Structure 1
Amino acid sequence: MTSTLTLLPEAAVDAVTKCRVSPIGIEHQWRCPTDDQADARLQTNILVSRWTRNDTQPLKAANPGTAGRHCIATNLKCTSLTFAHAGRTLVRGRVTAGAVQVTAPDVPCSAVFESAADALHLFVPQQVLGECFEDMFGRPHAGDIRIDDPRLVRDPALERLGQALAVSQSDDAALGKVFTDSVSLAIVSRVIARYFTLAERRQTREASALPSWRLSRVIEYVDAHLSQPIGLLDMAGSAGLTRMHFASQFRRATGTRPHEYLLRRRIEHAQHLLLASKHNVLDVALSCGFRSQAHFTTVFKRLVGETPYCWRMKASLDRQADSHVSGGE
C-alpha cells in the first residue's frame, strides 16, 4: 500500500489560516488598531482590538487620539495605573474589571501601567454612532456626535457585553465576525443610550425652573396655611404640578428645597408673632404649624441661632432702647 501526501494550494492554506484568525485584533501599541484593521475599506466598521500585558514593571504609554473615531475602552481585569485624558489625570490607582471609558476623536491620552493589564478597545466611526442614535431615538442626530464625558463608568450591561466579546472564539471567520459586529453594535448602542439619556436629564434639571406665576401661587398658599400641616403634595398641588416635577423646579427657582423653605417661612412668621403679640411660646409654635414646643425650639435655634424665649427678650429690649433714643431726639 502506498500513501500519498496531498499539498494544499497556497491560497487554500491562507484560507484555512484566516478561518482561525480572531476578528479581534491584538494591539502592539496601546490604543492603536493593527494595520490590516485600519485598512481604508473598513472605515465604516467598528474596529475591535485588545491590549494585553503580563509584565508587572511600570510601563508608560501614550496615544495622540484616533482620527474620526471614538474609542470605547473596557477594562477586562483589575489593574493599577495612572490615566490622563487631554492632559487631565482621571485615574490614579486601582481600576476594577468592567470599568468603561469613552474618548472622543483626536483627544490625546496617556497611561502609566503599574501592573498587568487587559483592555478591550472599540474604535467607532461617526457613521455607526449616527446609525445607533437613529435606531435608539427614532430620529437622526443633528450634526456629528461627540461624546465629551471621559469619566469611568460602571454598567453591568456593558461589562457583560465586553466580557462576551473578549472570550468569543470561532473556527468560522464569517460567523466570528457576525458575532463580533453584533456585540460591538450592542455596546455602542448602550453607550449612546446612556450618554444622551443622562444628558437630556441634566438639561431638564438645569433648564426647568418654577415659573414666577407658579411660585407666587405656592407662596400665597403657604402663607395662608402656616398654622396647618402642609406637605409636599399640598405645595405641588398649589402650583399645579406633580411632586417630582415640583420639587426640582422649586429648588431651581429658589435655591432651597420646599421643606426648608416652609420651615423658614414658619420661623419668620413666628418671629413676627413673638414681637407683635403676647402669646406664649407654645401658642406661637402651634400657630405656626409646629406640633410641639420642643420641635419649634429646635428649628428656631437652628435657623435663628437662639431659642425663641431668648430671641424675644433681646428683641424686646432692642425695641425699647430704640424707642428711648427716638423719644430723646
Structure 2
Amino acid sequence: MDILISRWTDLENRFRREVAASPYDRHIIRIALRDSRLKLIRGQRLIFDGAMPEGTLHITSPAQRMTAEFRDPFDFVHLYVLDDYFRALQGTPLRGKRTLVPDLGDVVVSDPLARLLGRELISCYANDPRYAESIGRSLVTHIATLERPGPADGALPPSRLERVQEYVDAHLDDPPTLATLAGVAGLSQSNFAAQFRRATGNGLHDYLLHRRIERAKVILSSTDMPLVELALFVGFQGQAHFSTVFKARVGDTPARWRRNAANMRYEPSKVRRLVSNQLTVNELLTSAQARGARAWLGWSKQELAEKSGVSEKTISRFEMDRSLPYPSTLRRIRAAFEYAGVQFEFEGAIAKGIRVT
C-alpha cells in the first residue's frame, strides 16, 4: 500500500523517551492532534524543542533514526508514505535510486489544513476505511507540495526566550501583555513579537493559551482544586470559558481528563522506592506533588531552586521523572513548599495530592 496509517497516543502526564528508525522505503508524516511539549532529535541533530501546538506537521525521510522526548501527554496520527509515491506527488521523475527533489525531511511546520484533515482521518478511519484512504491521499498530496520553511533568521535568542518563558509560567494567573514580555526580552513590541514567532512557531496568544492549559493539567492531575477555582487560578474568565478552551485544545473536558489522569498521579512505585531510602511519610515527596505545588504557588524552577538550595537541573529532572533525588534533596524541596503553606497528603505510603493553607 502507498499509505499506511496509525495513531500514537499517550495520555499519561509524565516524561517519556522513545527511539525509532523510519522504514528504509517510507517517509513518516506526523500530525499533532493535541498540544504537547517535546524534543525531537535526528541522530545528533536537534530538530525541535518546545511547545508543539495541535496541527503541527513533522516529516521524517526514509531510514532516519529519531529520538523523541515527551514532557506532556501526546496524540499523533502517523502516515507511512512510500518514497516513490511521495516523490511522484512532488512532480519530479525518478533518477535511479534517488531523485533530485526538495527534501522535506526534518520539516516542522504548523498547518491548519493538516489539522482539519488529520482530525477527519481519525474520526472516519474505523467506520469507513475507503473514505479514510481518500482523506489520507488528499492529506499526503497537500503535504508533498509544501515548500520547506526558510531558516529562522532573526529568531529570539535561546537565553532571552528562556527568560520570557520563565516569566510567563510565573504569571499565568494574570497573563502578561505583549508590552510586558517585550520589556522582559529587552526589545520593542514589534521586534519581540516577530522574533518570538520565529523562535517558537507560535504567536504569543497561542503560546500563552498553551502554557495556561498545561498548568491546568498539572493541577488537575495532582490536586482536587475545584474547576471554578482552577479556571481563575490559571487566568481564565470563568469555568465555562476554561472548559471550552480546554476541550478545544486537549480534546476532552477538564473533569473527564482529571478522571483519566487520577490513576497516574499517585505513583506508588516511586513512593515505595522513597520509603526504602529511609524517608518517613512526613518527608516523602513525589514528582507529581512537586509539579502541582510549584504550579499552585506560581513559582518558577529558579525560585524553587533559590528557596530550597537545590539546583534547577536537579529539580527539572525530578519533575520530569528522569531521576530520583537523594533523600536529603527531597527534604529540602518539601521544606521549601511547606514553609509557603503547602501540605502533602499521604495514605500509608501512597501519595494523595496536596493542600494549600
TM range (shorter): 0.3 to 0.5
TM-score, with length taken from structure 1: 0.41
TM-score, with length taken from structure 2: 0.38
- Answer with 1 or 2: which has the greater Rg: 1
